[in-house]
Homo-oligomer: A and B are copies of this chain.
Amino acid sequence: MSLSAKPLRLSTTQPDFEAQFTARLHWSAEQDDAIEQRVKDILADVRTRGDAAVLEYTARFDGLAAASMAELELTAAELKAAFDSLPAEQRGALQQAAARIRRYHEWQKTQGGETATYRDEDGTLLGQKVTPLDRVGIYVPGGKAAYPSSVLMNAIPAHVAGVGEIIMVVPTPKGEKNPLVLAAAHVAGVSRAFTLGGAQAIGALAYGTQTVPKVDKITGPGNAYVASAKKHVFGTVGIDMIAGPSEILVLADGSTPPEWVAMDLFSQAEHDELAQSILLCPDAAYIDAVQREIDRLLPTLPRAEIIAKSLNGRGALIHTRSMEEACDISNRIAPEHLEVSSRDPHQWEPLLRHAGAIFLGAYTSESLGDYCAGPNHVLPTSGTARFSGPLSVYDFQKRTSLIEVSEAGAQQLGRIASVLAHGEGLQAHARAAEMRLR
């Protein structure tokens, strides 16, 4: 079979651009009611019956029959053995990536991730105390999309934040374990790990079972069942975000070798048929060159079939009037990954308001960020970069306001509070303030 990948070719000057562009972007995160009902039932069952329910669903959905939960726990020794069994090159790469990710998140912690206070002129102390969460759960997908890098990207920020206990769950369909995932858990400092997946794993973490400890927050991507379950338990525990298909947007001025851009588009498309790769460029000849590289390179890739489906179904090569217009369109998309493949990326960066991560300059391929540049690769998808950001050390901490009003301060503040409390009809609030007046 000869494959071909022809992303939709658009120009912002064509009369139906808006309609075509909107249709291509469309992706619906709508919940499937049937999935939602099944997830609710599974969660309720896990909440009521605990381990027994978890064991049953694991046997049914993962084809993994275990007599007890103990069989589903991965010991620290097993994680270490997985690490030790890897080729030296992989061990080194995991450790180097972990070191860079750790260093970035340690820096991030210094940017607002630490307790700070000040005193005003009345001697009143105000500020925020920052403390790590006690215990978090990390969901790691199993099967065909088992990514050790996701273990690092979830567990290391939790570790840097100072989380007391990091519980990893990873489904192992038919008992098949991914040694790189286990090794990454060892490198990243996971406290306990269970071979559990799906809504039953989310339920076990959110409510706790006889064996799985209840956590305070659950992070990590998963399939539609996992996403629905996370949304359902939100409030009982914290969650990070609901992930949609992955996306890359390349903003190119034509100065980068077109084969680099073609491969960067592929690297997103190879994730998943629903993944979205878009090129924005003011140079039509360059777009042609990228398409030629797509044609040339596609057959050389093992995942060519997925890439072709993704690019044909959701990809786009968009000719813009200018780089400025390309930046405007990028802001409308609010992409997860945004490459600025330009000789002068700092000219365009200030114009880019909404993105999960911005990769500046030709050498910054998204894949370097995915694995080891340091910043987190868990990023907002489907336009949610309009209101949210990367997974971070802050996701594994929480803030508590600190207020210490001096006697002098209470005289000032008490009068204001009293007036406003009476205005709201809350007299006990007012009296509590008035009692502190001299």
Using a CB–CB cutoff of 8 Å, the interface residues on chain A facing chain B are: 29, 89-90, 92-94, 96-97, 100, 103-104, 107-108, 111-113, 116, 118, 120, 124-126, 128-129, 131, 133-134, 146-149, 180, 216-217, 231, 234-238, 242, 257, 259-260, 263-264, 266-267, 269-271, 301-303, 307, 345, 349, 352-376, 379-380, 384-390, 392, 394, 398-407, 409-410, 413-417, 419-421, 423-433, 435-436
Q: Which of A148, A303, A417 is packed against the most chain B CB atoms within 10 Å?
A: A417
* Residues of B contacting A389 in the complex (Cβ-Cβ under 8 angstroms): 128, 398-401
User: What residues of B have a CB within 8 angstroms of the CB of A125 in the complex?
Assistant: 360
Q: Would B116 and A128 count as touching, CB distance under 8 A?
A: no
Q: What chain B residues lie within 8 Å of A349 (beta carbons)?
A: 129, 402
Cross-chain contact A420 with B357 (CB below 8 angstroms): no
A403, B429: Cα distance in complex, Å: 50
- Taking a contact as CB atoms closer than 8 A, the residue among B92, B234, B401, B435 that contacts A358 in the complex is B401
Instruction: Kindly state the separation between the CA atoms of A232 and B357 in the bound complex, as whole angstroms.
Output: 27
A419 x B358 contact (CB < 8 A): no
Query: Secondary structure of the A side of the interface?
Result: mixed
- Distance between Cα atoms of A257 and B82 in the complex (Å): 62
Residue from B264, B301, B369, B385 in contact with A403 in the complex, judged by beta carbons closer than 8 Å? B369
Q: Which residues of B contact A301 (CB under 8 A)?
A: 427-428, 431
Query: Hey, which chain B residues are within 8 Å of A147, CB to CB?
Result: 424
Please give, as numbers and ranges, the residues of chain B lying within 8 Å of A108 by CB-CB distance: 128
Residues of B within 8 A of A363 (CB): 405-407, 409-410, 436
The answer to whether A436 touches B260, judged by C-beta atoms less than 8 angstroms apart, is: yes
Number of copies: 2
A402 contacts across to B, CB distance below 8 A: 349, 357-358, 360, 375
Contact flag A414-B126 (CB < 8 Å), given A264-B432, A376-B401, A384-B235: no
Q: Knowing that A263-B428, A364-B403, A367-B432 are A-B contacts, what are 12 other residue pairs whose CB atoms are under 8 Å apart, sorted by A's residue number?
A: A93-B419, A94-B420, A107-B118, A128-B390, A147-B424, A149-B424, A238-B384, A264-B432, A360-B402, A361-B404, A363-B406, A370-B421
A349→B236 CA distance, assembly (Å) = 26
* Closest CB in chain B relative to A431 CB, distance in Å: 5
Rounded to whole angstroms, the CA-CA distance of A436 and B373 in the bound complex is: 14
CB contacts (< 8 Å) of A356 on chain B: these are: 400-401
Closest-CB distance, A395 to chain B (whole angstroms)? 9
Contact indicator B433/A368 (Cβ below 8 Å): yes
Q: Cβ of A374: which chain B residues have Cβ within 8 Å of it? A: 120, 126, 403
5 sample A-B contacts, Cβ–Cβ < 8 Å, listed by A number: A257-B435, A358-B401, A359-B405, A367-B429, A380-B398
Q: How far is the CA of A390 from the CA of B129 in the complex (A)?
A: 11
Q: Which of B118, B267, B357, B427 contacts A302 (CB 8 A)?
A: B427
Quick one: given A264-B432, A375-B401, are A427 and B270 in contact (CB under 8 Å)? yes
Question: In the complex, what distance in Å separates the CA atom of A237 from the CA atom of B417?
Answer: 34
In the complex with contacts A133-B386, A133-B387, A124-B373 CB distance below 8 A? yes
A371 smallest CB distance to B (angstroms): 4
User: Quick one: which of B104, B370, B387, B390 contacts A217, CB cutoff 8 A?
Assistant: B387
List of B residues within 8 angstroms of A390 by Cβ: 128, 399-401
The 8 tightest CB contacts between A and B, nearest first, are A112-B112, A389-B399, A238-B387, A360-B404, A357-B401, A93-B419, A266-B428, A375-B401
Q: A107-B118, A303-B427, A370-B417 are in contact. Are A398 and B403 (CB under 8 A)?
A: no
Q: Which residues of B contact A134 (CB under 8 A)?
A: 353, 386
**CB-nearest residue of chain B relative to A241?**
B235
In the complex, A217→B389 CA distance in Å? Answer: 13
Docked pose: A340 CA to B123 CA in angstroms: 18
Q: Is the CB of B428 within 8 A of A307?
A: yes
